[in-house]
Chains A and B, each alone.
Chain A
Amino acid sequence: MNNNDIELNQQLGKTVGNPLVDGIPRMSCQSVDVFYNQDLQAIFNVSVDLAKNQILAMIGPSGCGKSTLLRCLNRMNDTIDGCIVTGKIYLDNEDIYTSNIDPVLLRAKVGMVFQKPNPFPKSIYDNVAYGPRLHGLMTNNSELDDIVEESLTKAGLWKETKDRLNKPGTGLSGGQQQRLCIARTIAVKPEVILMDEPTSALDPIATATIEELMYELKSSYTIAVVTHSMQQAARISDRCAYFHLGRLVEVNDTNIVFTNPEHGLTENYITGRFG
């Protein structure tokens, strides 16, 4: 360990702020470490809660591990060879990394929206109906129609697409595609929605639409969002977590993090001195 690392460890130290929430959190990470291929540690001892019906924003410079942590929350990292997660992650007080949890069912409860809109090359209807069909959430076709309409309405896409449900989802604009992906996620009736930089591939107008949508969705769901835009984090989130080199440096209510950060690194980042 060279001098830089020692200095950094002293700087990073323990998470400051307020990682835990009052009452029962929807999801909770406790002392989570993530390794890629044993020797490469991506996440160091992270503990943080996701409160019910709140948006947690995860910010930090590229490669700081925020996306890695997000992908641990619905075990998407299982699909990566050599990825090892230690520590505990709870969903409603149940450890999701024990053997009696089926990751396939977990992912239906903890949905995910990706950085780049990734609608399937199917019709808009089939994109939304994909999840409900997999999990048998309906007994007949009219129920499925209802689920599709409800999901598209919640995602703010129903008006634009109700006359073209049979057209391919890939034919929509970027912002519409991302809302379609959100509708697709909602259709499975998840409890938590994870969003990995959901607006970084979109223009400002589409971004504003998605942000409004996230604000509306939080009344029904718990949301964690990774973002590179500090303005976005400030606008939409209730709580904000700042990551640096795999450590959770600071987490607190968003207005505290942005107006009165405790840690020097956080302050440097949000004032734009680096990152």
Chain B
Amino acid sequence: MNDLDFFIILLTSAVVVFFIGQAKARSRQESTSGIRLHSLPNYYGYLTALWTFLPALGVFLVWSLFESNIVSMLTIAKFTQLQQLSTDNLSLALNEIKILATTGIYYSNGDANINHQAAAVYSKYFNHSFNLKILVSTLLALLGFTYTYLRINPTMQARNSVERLIVYVLLICALIAILTTLGILFSVLFESVEFFSKVPITEFLFGTHWSPQIAIYEDQAGSSGSFGAVPLFWGTIFISIIAMMIAAPLGLIAAIFLSEYATSRVRATIKPILEILAGVPTVVYGFFAALTIGPLVRDFGYYLREVGVNLDIEILANLTVSTESSLAAGLVMGMMIVPFILSLSDDVISAVPDAMRDGSTALGATKSETVWKVIVPAALPGIVGGFLLAISRAIGETMIVLMAAGVAANLTANPMNSVTTITTQIVTLLTGDQEFDSVKTLAAFALGLGLFITTLILNIIALHVVRKYREQYE
């Protein structure tokens, strides 16, 4: 039996005791004829099932969470040789022991004799722990079941008790979501602190040279990496600006058309299509960018350069042109977020009360005057909120940039040139063969933290603006 088996047994017994509790409630009602049950029989069933399932599951989960650590500690306490090891070697040895104990495979690191003995001890403790865990959980389940079952009678307020328990279930689900987010944030935070202990934070924030290679062997050429993240932040912002310059007007105007001008038939056709468009994986947009738009932009760049040479315009004549360009990435990313902006803007524009339209029309305004002078200003906070959410998406976008803008960290305002973004660099830093504790890998976490903070701030502003919009009328 393993953890999963036990969980399935627990779940099955919860279903079974549901029927038991329900049946008892029914029979009690019949035996005390004349007295009505306080709640429907189902509620007695739910209550029995919840009391059987929840406490046992809680203990089971918490135990499983700490089991491995406690067993390890107990194992170490048994062997003085292990206690003498340094922290790094100890964790190595522990991994070795765990693998040996669970799979029987041995990679022959460290002292084989000690490790084999330790693995046996670890195994033993682990089995004890597991048996104890199952025993305690089962006892709790039985206790919960008996406690509830014995109390079932027509005056018991099962419905109210179920309601109270449900609140706890909801609370736990909410907590899991929040704790997961916090967990991710802290793991990124700790690795970033580690990174900043090796690379000064000032270099990261203000340095203009990004070249994160690390020597694999000593005296390697170009071994000193430099971690100035300014080109990455610039690349991210630059591409996002290009994308928003495309998406903001296009999305807004299309939204105005859909919500104010289009007939309900057209609207009913276009809206689902746009939602499908919003669901296209970004990698598809990515190869569209790399294979179609990229070369087009490059050819346009060559044409500009030719014009520059012919007309003797120095800036154009010296234009750097490459197939991977921020313009290509920005254009395609703009197309990607158009449906997003359109959908959000359409919602807020439709939410403007008809009284505003009537009021403006009754004063002799044409439709477009009404739209631009009353509807759009009224919906503007919501529209801006939508824009900010779209920017967050643009900043977080990876695949399009990776495929269309490249990985060269250029600090340039030339949209024909290749740039790179934070997300792209995180991908390139973390994929391929790496030492996991190298500065190069840690840099990815620092970049992730920067990205997290940027999008967090943008989202907070967006939420604030959107909330303000909700209080606009009345």
Interface positions of A (Cβ within 8 A of B): 74, 76, 79, 104-108, 111-112, 114, 116, 118-122, 130-131, 134-135, 170, 181, 184-185, 188
Contacts and interface: CB of A to CB of B under 8 A. Distances in A.
Interface string B330-372: 0000000000000000000000010111111111111001000
A116 B378 CA distance: 17
Could you tell me the dominant secondary structure of chain A's interface residues? helix
Given A74-B362, A107-B363, A185-B362, A120 B369 contact: no
A20 B68 CA distance: 96
A104 B355 contact: no
Contacts of A185: 362-363
Contacts of A131: 363-364
Contact of B356 (A120, A184, A188): A120
B364 A120 contact: no
A120 B362 contact: no
A55 to B, nearest CB: 19
Contacts of B363: 107-108, 111, 130-131, 134, 184-185, 188
B377 A134 contact: no
8 contacts: A76-B362, A114-B358, A119-B359, A120-B356, A120-B374, A122-B377, A185-B363, A188-B363
B473 A121 contact: yes
Contacts of A104: 364-366
A135 B472 CA distance: 27
Contacts of A181: 359
A121 B364 contact: no
A111 B355 contact: no
A104 B369 CA distance: 11
B373 A130 contact: yes
Contacts of A121: 356, 377-378, 472-473
B361 A170 contact: no
Nearest to B379: A121
Contacts of B369: 134
A239 B474 CA distance: 34
Contacts of B374: 120, 130
B83 to A, nearest CB: 71
A188 B378 CA distance: 22
B356 A118 contact: yes
- Top 6 nearest A-B pairs by Cβ distance? A108-B364, A118-B355, A112-B362, A107-B364, A131-B363, A118-B359
B378 A120 contact: yes
A50 B436 CA distance: 87
Nearest to A107: B364
Contacts of B373: 130, 134
Contact of B358 (A76, A111, A130, A134): A76
B365 A134 contact: yes
A107 B359 contact: no
B452 to A, nearest CB: 35
A112 B377 CA distance: 22
A134 B364 contact: yes
A231 B374 CA distance: 36
Contacts of A184: 359, 363
A116 B355 contact: yes
B375 to A, nearest CB: 10
Contact of A120 (B359, B366, B474): B359
A135 B360 CA distance: 12
B357 to A, nearest CB: 8
A105 B366 CA distance: 9
A132 to B, nearest CB: 10
A267 to B, nearest CB: 35
Contacts of A120: 356, 359-360, 374, 377-378
Taking each of B363, B369, B474, which has the highest tally of chain A beta carbons within 10 Å of its own beta carbon?
B363
B435 to A, nearest CB: 58
Contacts of A112: 358, 362
A18 B23 CA distance: 78
A214 to B, nearest CB: 17
